[in-house]
A and B are shown apart, each in its own frame.
Chain A
Amino acid sequence: SAVISQKPSRDICQRGTSLTIQCQVDSQVTMMFWYRQQPGQSLTLIATANQGSEATYESGFVIDKFPISRPNLTFSTLTVSNMSPEDSSIYLCSVSGTGDYNEQFFGPGTRLTVL
């Protein structure tokens, strides 16, 4: 299984600012995913990030609000732009290998509070 780290682990931000979350994996992976999760609730997929191509965003999420970078096979960033209190959530990074049957492995998450 992959070991995934995220930075920061938590942050408190002011309305209107932006925060960039980093996701680092200890091995090369093809697909990385960014999720949002309200505490105690289910996961909502924001986007899928493949190395060397534009991220694919889910309905309700746009690149201007959640720009994603994927410069190599072990690293990705998600930026939450022009934040509002509604963006307060836990942001999770996950990875999946190249096989069709591979499960996803998750980072510890970034807990974001927007005031």
Chain B
Amino acid sequence: AQSVAQPEDQVNVAEGNPLTVKCTYSVSGNPYLFWYVQYPNRGLQFLLKYITGDNLVKGSYGFEAEFNKSQTSFHLKKPSALVSDSALYFCAVRGYAGNNRKLIWGLGTSLAVNP
């Protein structure tokens, strides 16, 4: 069965420090991986995706994510955190192509960046 795990409910980081939000997945076949961010009282915004190719994917707002096939991980990273990055982050995966384009969602990680 396909699944996504975000092992940390909350991540705290000081402003200016690097941040990592973890995501691991389990799918059959090649994974299509996504990161989304949800700011308070807002809808979800797409950050970045991995489909194929370079394992390091760059996205919006200075975020990047590294696909690691052997560890089945897709951790979200940013070199220098901003207070405005404080939000809820979701990892999602699709395990196959075709007409069914459902995403399997992680439970989310709340990121708090402290000034």
Contacts and interface: CB of A to CB of B under 8 A. Distances in A.
Given A101-B49, A105-B46, A43 B90 contact: yes
Interface stretch (B16-24, B64-72, B77-85, B104-112): B104-112
A107 B49 contact: no
A67 interface: no
B44 interface: yes
Interface residues of A, number: 23
Interface string B72-115: 00000000000000001010000001101111011110100000
Contacts of B51: 101
Contact of B105 (A40, A43, A100, A107): A43
A103 B49 CA distance: 8
A41 interface: yes
B107 A103 contact: no
Nearest to A104: B103
B27 to A, nearest CB: 14
A88 to B, nearest CB: 16
Interface in A17-51: 31, 33, 40-43, 45, 48
8 contacts: A4-B43, A40-B110, A43-B90, A92-B44, A94-B44, A100-B101, A104-B46, A106-B45
Interface of B: 32, 34, 36, 42-46, 49, 51, 88, 90, 97-98, 100-103, 105-108, 110
